[in-house]
């Protein structure tokens, strides 16, 4: 964040207005500053990575709950473009423009980030043309903040050429470069890093955006390490990174705060972050690149399970409230007038309520998801395809063929209601509750069977013992009779 602070100091108010007017990158000058990046939080998340064959996303397992960091959520947080922009011919033409380098570093073969900072500082004192200082400020921010480069490292020569044209520079899809670099470092093997002599490592890319994404995905964690800002003129039309201010000096170490947050009963994890209708109208969303990725049966199945959940809520305009919807606005009665919004957006509010909430799925769930197929399922996932059967629209269930219809609760509070509402879809928490409850039922049934079996065995043993006693009594009577005959005197006849 020191880079953004320096830019705010070196630019005049007029130049800040010019900086702010450019798309994609201008909003970063209003990013709330004052706190520090939490290396402990990033390290904790990196330790929680799961095996994922996908190239363009990474998954974590936090307190037993899955959490995904994909490109589209990176875009929602950062507001960076990942698609569109200059054509290949325009890029090749711009890479021939060395105006800034020839003007300020004519004798240097390469330009470092420190060189850019020094020149920007000098120009802020000499009051040279505004457009050059804004160009260097954009270059300094991209190379130093979004790509988190070491000050001694060389700035990519192409980026220096792109900065000669601000329209070109601010239309270039920096989100691709930033996300790819961030993802590369997230996926780096930590064991290989610590096999070296040093016990520290650098996190390149944009760890700041990664940290704010973690706050959005785990609201209780964000509450303890940062402040969620109220909507204002600067952040109401911008990406989500403008709504968080990192706490400058949190009580205790941030790692301790992370562990403390996860011990709270209201600690929740949003597996996916859904966009609002207002966000879907903004340039960074419209220019979001749709990437083809390799298949991963387990991850693909988990994605289908987690995505598409919506909850019935009141007619209050969720888009104006952004992520501030509270449990009091959730409709409990399906007969009331209602509309839908993504369930992950109010997860932390409704988990505190014990009132059942009805869920629906935007897209029908497959009858037999492949990742739950007993023939192909991973051993790490429960093979319970029958729990999905009540979801589909189908004729009445034949209990003689399929057995009794499974039921489970659809709310997040204390699990007291096991009746399954019509056409509802279980969430991940509901499914886990269902699994736990069924395991408990099976344990109770087994204990009951063992108790009945033990009672039957005891009764059988009593019958056997009684029969043996009667048999022994009969034998003893015969023995005594025989012995009595031998005791009588024998008379010899001569």
- Dump pLDDT digits (tens) for 442-468: 778 778 888 887 888 888 888 888 888
Does residue 414 carry a pLDDT above 80?
A: no
Does residue 351 carry a pLDDT above 50?
A: no
The residues near 136 (Cβ < 8 Å, ≥ 6 apart) are 100, 116, 119, 120, 123, 163
Whether 433 contacts 417, CB under 8 Å: no
pLDDT at 97: 92
The residues near 444 (Cβ < 8 Å, ≥ 6 apart) are none
Whether 174 contacts 190, CB under 8 Å: no
The mean pLDDT value for 128-141 works out to: 88
Mean pLDDT of the chain: 72
The mean pLDDT value for 278-299 works out to: 86
Q: Which two tokens stand for residue 114?
A: 């420190």
pLDDT at 29: 92
pLDDT band at 76 (very low <50, low <70, confident <90, very high): very high
pLDDT at 42: 82
Q: Which two tokens stand for residue 186?
A: 């997230």
Tell which residue, 10, 14, 3, 6, has the closest CA to residue 125: 10
pLDDT at 491: 47
Q: Give the DSSP per-residue string, 78-144.
A: H----S--S-HHHHHHHTT--HHHHHH-TT-SS-BHHHHHHHHHHHHHHT--HHHHHHHHHHHHIII
Comparison of pLDDT for 489 and 146, the residue scoring more? 146
Does residue 78 carry a pLDDT above 70?
A: yes
Place of tokens 């509070």: 413
Which tens digit of pLDDT belongs to each residue from 30-51?
888 776 677 778 888 888 888 8
Calculate the dihedral angle through the C-alpha atoms of 478, 483, 487, 490, rounding to the nearest 10 degrees.
70
* Range of lowest pLDDT (70-79, 164-173, 273-282, 295-304): 295-304
Does residue 305 carry a pLDDT above 60?
A: yes
Longest dimension (CA), the chain: 159
Whether 277 contacts 319, CB under 8 Å: yes
Whether 408 contacts 420, CB under 8 Å: yes
Q: Which two tokens stand for residue 466?
A: 């009684």
* Range of lowest pLDDT (35-39, 272-276, 298-302, 461-465): 35-39
Degrees (nearest 5) of the Cα angle 152, 154, 158? 155
């Amino acid at each position: 964040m020191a880079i953004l602070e320096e830019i705010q100091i070196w630019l005049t108010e007029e130049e800040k207005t010019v900086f702010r007017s450019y798309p994609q990158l201008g909003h970063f000058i209003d990013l709330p500053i004052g706190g520090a990046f939490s290396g402990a939080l990033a390290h904790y998340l990196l330790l929680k990575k799961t095996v994922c064959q996908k190239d363009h996303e990474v998954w974590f397992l936090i307190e037993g709950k899955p959490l995904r960091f994909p490109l589209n959520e990176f875009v929602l947080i950062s507001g960076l473009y990942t698609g569109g922009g200059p054509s290949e011919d325009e890029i090749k033409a711009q890479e021939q423009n060395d105006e800034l380098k020839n003007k300020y570093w004519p004798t240097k073969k390469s330009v470092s980030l420190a060189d850019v900072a020094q020149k920007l500082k000098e120009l802020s004192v000499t009051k040279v043309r505004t457009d050059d200082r804004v160009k260097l400020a954009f270059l300094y921010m991209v190379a130093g903040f979004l790509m988190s480069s070491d000050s001694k490292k060389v700035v990519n020569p192409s980026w220096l050429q792109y900065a000669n044209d601000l329209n070109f520079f601010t239309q270039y899809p920096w989100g691709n470069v930033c996300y790819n670099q961030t993802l590369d470092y997230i996926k780096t093997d930590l064991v290989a890093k610590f096999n070296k002599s040093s016990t520290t490592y650098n996190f390149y890319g944009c760890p700041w955006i990664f940290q704010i994404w973690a706050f959005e995905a785990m609201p209780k964690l964000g509450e303890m390490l940062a402040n969620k800002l109220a909507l204002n003129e600067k952040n109401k039309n911008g990406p989500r990174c403008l709504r968080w201010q990192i706490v400058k000096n949190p009580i205790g170490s941030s790692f301790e705060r992370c562990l403390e947050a996860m011990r709270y009963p209201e600690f929740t994890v949003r597996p996916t972050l859904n966009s609002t209708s207002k966000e879907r109208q903004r340039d960074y969303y419209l220019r979001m690149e749709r990437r083809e990725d390799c298949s991963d049966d387990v991850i693909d199945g988990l994605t289908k399970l987690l995505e598409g959940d919506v909850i019935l809520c009141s007619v209050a305009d969720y888009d104006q409230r952004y992520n501030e919807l509270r449990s009091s606005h959730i409709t409990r009665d399906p007969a009331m007038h209602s509309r839908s919004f993504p369930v992950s957006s109010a997860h932390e509010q409704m988990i505190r309520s014990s009132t059942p909430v009805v869920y629906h799925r935007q897209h029908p769930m497959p009858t037999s998801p492949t990742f739950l197929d007993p023939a192909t399922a991973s051993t790490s996932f429960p093979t319970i395809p029958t729990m999905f059967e009540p979801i589909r629209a189908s004729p009445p269930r034949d209990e003689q063929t399929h057995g009794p219809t499974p039921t489970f609760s659809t709310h997040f509070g204390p699990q007291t209601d096991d009746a399954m509402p019509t056409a509802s879809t279980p969430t991940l928490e509901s499914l886990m509750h269902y699994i736990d409850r069924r395991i408990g039922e099976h344990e109770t049934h087994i204990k009951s069977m063992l108790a009945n079996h033990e009672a039957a065995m005891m009764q059988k043993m009593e019958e056997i013992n009684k029969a043996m006693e009667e048999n022994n009594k009969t034998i003893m009577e015969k023995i005594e009779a025989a012995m009595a005959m031998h005791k009588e005197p024998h008379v010899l006849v001569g």
